[in-house]
Amino acid sequence: MSETIVRVKICGIRTAESIDAAVSAGAHAIGFVRAPSSPRFVSREDLVPLVQRVPPFVCVVLVYRDSGIDEITLDLRAIAPRAAIVQLHGHEDEAFASSVPATIIRALPWSAEGVRRWQACGAIKALLLDAPDPGSGVTAPWEEIAAGRASIELPFVLAGGLDAENVARALTLTRPEAVDVSSGVESSPGVKDSSKIAAFCKAVRRWGR
């Protein structure tokens, strides 16, 4: 029987120890939050050495909410020559997304209209479907996503309230290409728990088998 590989992104990482735990657990991507309002925010000064610690075959994702193009460009230059994917979580429009000099993931709460809108933007290479209040620990509407799954043409990442206990059911219902977890692998907001990271990655692999 063939294995279904679902990629795992551990988001909101702030320490070298958490990077090591995620990589050891088999994560495919590490997300760094550059939104100052988030408890998972990392400054540009801290971002650079953290990115340098990520192994070359693990993706780096920089997460923004209504940041300016100059700030994003400065971040990308600061971590060069390492490439990064940019994830947009705010009110950025299609013109803004097209101006970002990187591969773009568009994050949005599930809606058929939102999916249609962003799939029509050539700059967007993947969608991240989240809960209405990102980072709150509330799950995305899995049943609604499942009902509209055929309309999702781009690769999509499922986010929102995932943890080791519920991720198998979420995967069975929605069949994403990847999953994104943040609060579900924390001991408190912004503080990652290595054992929870390991358990989450193990649960995803177990489902794939």
- Report the catalytic residues: 11, 130
List the one residue out of 65, 173, 60, 204 whose CA is nearest residue 110: 173
Q: Kindly list the distances between the CA atom of residue 178 and the CA atoms of 66, 77, 82, 187, in Å, as whole numbers in the listed order.
A: 24, 27, 22, 23
Helices within 26-166 (DSSP H only) = 44-53, 69-79, 94-99, 112-119, 142-147
* Token duo for residue 27: 């994560």
The Cα 111–Cα 196 span in angstroms is: 30
The Cα 16–Cα 123 span in angstroms is: 31
